[in-house]
Amino acid sequence: MFGGLKSVNAQSSQSKFTLHSADFAPGAPIPTADTCSGANRSPALKWSGAPAGVKSFALLVTDPDAPNGVYKHWIVYNLSPSTDSLPADLPASLTLAGGGVQGTNERGTIGYHGPCPPPGPAHHYHFRLYALDTTLDLKPAATYEEVVEAMKGHELAVTDLVGTFAR
């Protein structure tokens, strides 16, 4: 269980639901360009194996190692079911070309806020992509908590790509 959502079997009838990045391998360090120590650009993401019946996707990026609890770095929801990727360096706009809406991150801004841990051991950044059986009835700039609440009971599958970063 994560963020109030149940664990969902990530298997479709044809293949496994997976999320990849051209910028970093699973479990590997996130490039400096994708962090506050660099350009703070969002990484390129691509997914495959979504189950049948998907009406939208939602992406939640968090740091559970943050000193004050889970830090919410990026919230994207209502991505079209025909979408299978997000390009690198997405603009900090409410709506995305091709569909989708960005929410309000922990800093209170729209869009991606890259890893920025305090000096010390590496933190783990979870890029969780949810396949949903609905579109979320939320206004643009919704918070993480609003998205999590709206997704409850609508998760068809979830996939998790984890990257690390230390300063």
Positions in the chain whose pLDDT score sits under 50: 1-14
User: Strand pairing partners for 26?
Assistant: none
How confident is the model at residue 167, as a pLDDT? 94
Looking at residue 19, its amino acid is L
Say what the pTM is: 0.91
Contact assessment for residue 123 and residue 166, using Cβ atoms and an 8 Å cutoff: yes
CA 127 to chain centre: 4
Interval 72-86: pLDDT, tens: 999 999 999 999 999
For the chain, list the domains and their CATH numbers: 18-165 (3.90.280.10)
Residues forming beta bridges with residue 59, ordered by sequence position: 76, 129
Predicted confidence (pLDDT) per residue in 111-137, tens digit? 999 999 999 999 999 999 999 999 999
Burial class from Cβ neighbours inside 10 Å (0-12, 13-18, 19+) for residue 68 reads exposed
